[in-house]
Amino acid sequence: MRRCVALLALILVTATPGALLAQEEEAAPALPDSAFPQSPLSPGGAFIRSLVIPGWAQAELGAEARGAFYFFAEAFSIFMVARSQIRLSHAERTLPEGHEVISSRRQQKEDWIALAVFWAFFAGADGWVSVQLYGFDERTGLQPDEVALLVGWKIPFGP
């Protein structure tokens, strides 16, 4: 039994394929750091800017449309927080305490506050990611091929 196990181990060790010469890839020449544009912002700075004013970092990095979306989404959420507060105050003045409309207005206000906080942090996270991806080729994605769509990716193998 020991001989069979030893023989099997020897066969497995010697039969394991190594890298074949025809399969080795030549290393591509490294591009100098000057080939990639440097971001005008640091990742943390972009996060803070877009947290304070959503869309600020995106506008600084050249993505004005995305920055405008975050700015207007946050502005609308803050507008709705104010509107919900006005409606809540009116309901508290005119309706008896504990009325279901008052609790509904409070819930609406809390929901709009949560959405405003979400947009602020989402814009900050997008600013951080935008700095990390600054200078990458923007022509990525799906490539149409007549009727069908071709989707491809590369999976690196080896050291």
Domain residue limits, the chain = 42-133
Which of these, 56, 53, 59, 58, lies nearest to 74 by C-alpha position?
53
Distances (CA, A) of 2 to 10, 15, 16: 12, 20, 21
The pLDDT value given to residue 11: 66
Name the more confident of 116 and 37.
Answer: 116
Number of neighbouring beta carbons within 10 Å of residue 62: 11
DSSP-based three-state secondary structure for 145: strand
How far from chain centre, in Å, is Cα 80?
A: 26
Name the more confident of 9 and 131.
Answer: 131
Distances (CA, A) of 93 to 6, 35, 99, 100, 117: 89, 65, 11, 14, 28
Distance, in Å, from the CA atom of 42 to the CA atom of 127, rounded to the nearest integer, reads 10
The alpha-carbon radius of gyration of the chain (Å, integer) is: 29
Residues whose CB falls within 8 Å of the CB of residue 73, separated by 6 or more in sequence, listed in order:
54, 119
The pLDDT value given to residue 95: 92
Helices 100-132 and 43-52, packing angle to 10 deg = 150
Q: What is the mean pLDDT of the chain?
A: 81
The pLDDT value given to residue 150: 63
Distance, in Å, from the CA atom of 72 to the CA atom of 116, rounded to the nearest integer, reads 11
What tens digit of pLDDT does each residue of 85-111 get? Answer: 999 999 999 999 889 999 999 999 999
Give this prediction's pTM: 0.62
Distance, in Å, from the CA atom of 138 to the CA atom of 125, rounded to the nearest integer, reads 19
Q: Annotate 133-157 with b (16+ C-beta within 10 A) or e (fewer).
A: ebeeeeeeeeeeeeeeeeeeeeeee
